[in-house]
Amino acid sequence: MPELPEVETVRRGLRPLEGATLERIIVRKCQLRRRVSVAALHNLAGGVVAPLGRRAKYLLIPMVNGGGMIIHLGMSGRLFMANPGDALDPHDHLSWWLKQRGATIELRFRDPRRFGSVTVLQQGDLRKHPLLANLGPEPLGNEFTADYAFARSKRSRRPIKNALMDARFVVGIGNIYASEALWRAQINPKTAICRISRRRWGKLVWAVQDVLGRAVSDGGTTLNDFYGASGDPGYFQTRLRAYGQRGEPCHRCGSLIRRISQAGRATYYCVSCQH
């Protein structure tokens, strides 16, 4: 599933849409993870796209006069600008046609598994939508600090990896980047968060921000079917040191990377230097 770096990569790739006028929308299949409101989508026609945003793993496409769309890519969703005359894929469920300085742009949403979602807000601030109301701080923002994490973790015994993947604690960190950050911070993913000192939280916050920052610079991670808005894959997978490395020697100490299951998700770590 696309995580923060992948969604941020898509947002940056779609910047040419900013200032464009939305002329028409074609909905070929409205039953995604949640049913798309066709009428609400069509009501956005004629509006001008404001600067794009991102909150957690959601892409925000606001309109200048308020409202807009909140898009989640799900497990296999792609949002990209199609070339004129490109053939339709059977999984191209929605198309938006926009006009920018006399040129026509077609934006498509392709989602083979249909776990993605397109939520429409007719007016108001997208960031105040109930989908985003109870989310934790952005990991690359000023609110995610060692003091914040230490204060939130004093009374909880849940494993640190589970906490990192809880969007109420901090947003946008999925399975890949949680494993990578814990490897960099040399923290065992099974460690109860109440046992992590403020000093170690400082190291982990740095590791989270370093991993996510590098992944954004590399255009995300492409393991299966993630591609950016331009159709290019991400390249952060070449930097992976823990995730997917079961049985490989640790890049730091040489011990073998182990794979376990936590909350139904695969976790990769080094038993020797993560403690």
Where do the structural domains in the chain lie, given as residue ranges?
Answer: 4-132, 146-270
**In the chain, what percentage of residues exceed pLDDT 70?**
94
Position 223 scores a pLDDT of 53
pTM of the model: 0.90
> Measured at the alpha carbon of residue 260, what is the angle toward residues 259 and 264, in degrees to the nearest 5?
125
Known catalytic residue: 138?
no
Tokens linked to 97: 């046609």
The residue among 238 and 80 whose pLDDT is bigger is 80
State how far the Cα of 258 lies from the Cα of 269, in Å rounded to an integer.
6
Q: Which of 15-24, 66-75, 150-159, 215-224 is the least confident region? A: 215-224
Q: Is the pLDDT of residue 272 over 80?
A: yes
**Quick one: pLDDT band at residue 233, thresholds 50, 70, 90?**
low
Known catalytic residue: 2?
yes
Range 4-132: architecture per CATH: Alpha-Beta Barrel (3.20)
**Quick one: pLDDT band at residue 225, thresholds 50, 70, 90?**
low
- 3-state secondary structure (DSSP) of residue 140: coil
Position 231 scores a pLDDT of 57
Q: What is the mean pLDDT of residues 86-109?
A: 94
State how far the Cα of 43 lies from the Cα of 45, in Å rounded to an integer.
5
Known catalytic residue: 265?
yes
- Fold: same for 4-132 and 146-270: no
Choosing from 3, 6, 8, 180, the catalytic residue is 3
Question: Domain 146-270, CATH 3.40.50.1370 — does that match?
Answer: no
Position 219 scores a pLDDT of 74
Tens digits of per-residue pLDDT, 46-64? Answer: 999 999 999 999 999 999 9
Q: Is the pLDDT of residue 180 over 80?
A: yes
Mean pLDDT of the chain: 92
**Quick one: pLDDT band at residue 238, thresholds 50, 70, 90?**
confident
Q: Is the pLDDT of residue 245 over 70?
A: yes
Position 48 scores a pLDDT of 97
Choosing from 11, 54, 57, 78, the catalytic residue is 57
Instruction: Produce one character per residue of 18-47: b if its CB has 16 or more CB atoms within 10 Å, e if not.
Output: eebebeebebeeeebbeebeeeebeebeeb
Position 248 scores a pLDDT of 96
Tens digits of per-residue pLDDT, 8-29? Answer: 989 999 999 999 999 999 999 9
Choosing from 127, 214, 259, 265, the catalytic residue is 265
The residue among 139 and 227 whose pLDDT is bigger is 139
State how far the Cα of 244 lies from the Cα of 227, in Å rounded to an integer.
19
**In the chain, what percentage of residues exceed pLDDT 90?**
80
Q: What is the mean pLDDT of residues 252-269?
A: 96
Q: What is the DSSP letter of 237?
A: G
Q: What is the mean pLDDT of residues 249-263?
A: 96
Position 84 scores a pLDDT of 73
